[in-house]
């Protein structure tokens, strides 16, 4: 087991990738904000199966946090992250500072329409602008052949795909299935914020969504089913439910039952906001 090469500047990142390209090697990238868990490692393994070399970026991106959100409290554990990347055989960790990514005078933002509409944007209106901007920068910095994103952040995955289509970015976007614990809870860095009582409640999230997705596939009323899901989440102990909505899988337009669908939800336990999504089975 060898630790990945660690670079914190764009120049060093490009130099390493230039050497790989000279040797005819393909490159896959896994953008992360660190606090790596088994879900992230599954993305690294998928990247390694797709390309000769894997770059993992670790950067807590301030552009996607609103002033009221948990930027300062977001977990940062670089040494542990590098240990995990070594175990997964990642080749390079890109760990830029905020100043490296957003130097003095930085004034550009990227806004992606389409799949960014509603859902997360209703509650975090600047979020996807921050995501699109940093992802575009990472792709231009690393020039990967592929990039792997988890389906747990399903709307983000759709936004990144739209970004690459619209700006002709030559990066193949791979969506990786959500990794869950033994109880079905989606792996997330924010799970570390949950106490034991909240964790038990959180593990009902996917159970309720799966029942709702099955009911939608069976042809039930969308409004009634999503409303019942909201009520069920409140009954098991979630403090606030931001949304439970059915959308088309590819465009995230409002769902029609003759199209593939996704049921997406966001809810709060105390000060922790969790998101999840479930495929609506084909009827």
The residues annotated as belonging to the active site are 40
> Residue 50 annotated as binding?
no
Q: How far apart are CA 262 and CA 246, in angstroms?
A: 6
21 is in an annotated binding site: no
The answer to the question of whether 190 is labelled as a binding residue is yes
Matching residue, tokens 């809810």: 267
Residue 244 assigned as binding residue: no
Q: Is 22 annotated as a binding residue?
A: no
38 is in an annotated binding site: yes
Do the annotations mark residue 189 as ligand-binding?
Answer: yes
Q: Does the annotation list 188 as a binding residue?
A: yes
Gap between the Cα atoms of 239 and 97, Å rounded: 35
Query: Helix, strand, or coil here: 274?
Result: strand
SS3 of residue 65 by DSSP? coil
Consecutive H or E run containing 162? helix 154-167
Query: Both tokens of residue 264?
Result: 């997406």
Longest dimension (CA), the chain: 58
Distance (Å, whole) CA 112 – CA 160 = 9
Residues contributing to the annotated binding site for beta-alanine: 64
Residues contributing to the annotated binding site: 33-40, 64, 150-153, 156, 179, 187-190
Residues contributing to the annotated binding site for ATP: 33-40, 150-153, 179, 187-190
Residues contributing to the annotated binding site for (R)-pantoate: 64, 156
């Amino acid at each position: 087991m060898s630790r990945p090469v660690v670079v914190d500047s764009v120049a060093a990142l490009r130099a390493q990738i230039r050497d790989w390209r000279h040797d005819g090697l393909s490159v896959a990238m896994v953008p992360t904000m660190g606090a790596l868990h088994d879900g992230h490692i599954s993305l690294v393994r998928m990247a390694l199966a797709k390309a000769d070399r894997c770059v993992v970026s670790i950067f807590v991106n301030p552009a996607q946090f609103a002033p009221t959100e948990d930027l300062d409290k977001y977990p940062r554990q670089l040494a542990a992250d590098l240990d995990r990347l070594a175990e997964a055989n990642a080749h390079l960790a890109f760990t830029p500072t905020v100043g490296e990514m957003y130097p003095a005078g930085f004034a550009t933002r990227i806004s992606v329409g389409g799949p960014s509409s509603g859902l997360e944007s209703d509650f975090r209106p600047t979020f996807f602008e921050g995501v699109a901007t940093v992802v575009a920068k990472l792709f231009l910095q690393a020039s990967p052949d592929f990039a792997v994103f988890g389906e747990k952040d399903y709307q983000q995955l759709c936004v990144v795909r739209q970004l690459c289509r619209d700006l002709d970015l030559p990066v193949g976007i791979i969506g990786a299935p959500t990794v869950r614990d033994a109880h079905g809870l989606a792996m997330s860095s924010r799970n570390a914020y949950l106490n034991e009582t909240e964790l038990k409640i959180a593990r009902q999230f996917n159970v309720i969504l799966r029942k709702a997705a099955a009911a939608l596939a069976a042809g039930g009323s969308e409004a009634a089913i999503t409303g019942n899901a909201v009520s069920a989440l409140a009954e098991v102990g979630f403090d606030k439910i931001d949304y439970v909505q059915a959308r088309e899988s590819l465009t995230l337009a409002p769902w029609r039952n003759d199209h593939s669908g996704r049921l997406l939800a966001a809810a709060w336990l105390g000060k922790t906001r969790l998101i999840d999504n479930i495929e609506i089975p084909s009827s």
